Amino acid sequence: MTDELNFKNICSIGVKTMGTNIEELTSQTRKMNIVVLRQVLAVLGRTEEDIHRTIIAKILNRDRTSINYYENSHKNNYSTFPLYRETFNKVYKAYKDVESTKNVFFDSQKLKSFLLNNGVREVEKADVTIEVKSGSAKCLIKTNYFEVSNQIENIKLACKEYHITISIK
């Protein structure tokens, strides 16, 4: 999946775990539980998925420097702020539970054949290459500009039960 979708998934896990909603998370509210949840989700996005700060900031409706601040203050918040620690532990456990239920591929050839057997097509004259990573496997799907969004959608549908990362080369 793309970094943006990965972070949106992390956010949905967080709001579901903490009993709030996305609208409140992305609003300008200063309620302590929402502020702490925002910080926790940003830290998880950075540490677990290595998602760029600008993507996290865009989704949380904040600026990049706020994400920097959240990341730099994590260690201190975790050790001295009980609400932060409890929120982080709850959301992190929920995130790990969801991640552990997803499968991964260990063989690149099996990944590529799985994709090709499940609706993903390659073209002979490729303008764009889609890189799909899952576990230790990586494969390249050759496509053109007209089909790239359809192919990415097909990859997402085929691999909804798998932990994947998609990037365009």
Burial class (CB in 10 A: 0-12, 13-18, 19+), 72: exposed
Give the pLDDT confidence of 14-52 residue by residue, as tens digits. Answer: 999 999 999 999 999 999 999 999 999 999 999 988 899
Give the Cβ contact number of residue 6 at 10 Å: 20
Tell me: pLDDT of 68 over 70.
yes
**Is 1 a residue whose pLDDT tops 70?**
no
pLDDT classification of 151: cutoffs 50, 70, 90? very high
Q: What average pLDDT score do residues 129-137 get?
A: 91
Whether the predicted pLDDT of 160 surpasses 90: no
Percent of the chain topping pLDDT 90: 72
Distance CA 56, CA 67 (A): 7
pLDDT digits (tens, 9 = 90+) for 80-114: 999 999 999 999 999 988 877 778 899 999 999 99
**The pTM is what?**
0.71
What domains does the chain contain, in order, with CATH numbers? Answer: 3-101 (1.10.1750.10), 108-168 (no CATH)
Return the closest-CA partner of residue 19 out of 77, 91, 95. 91
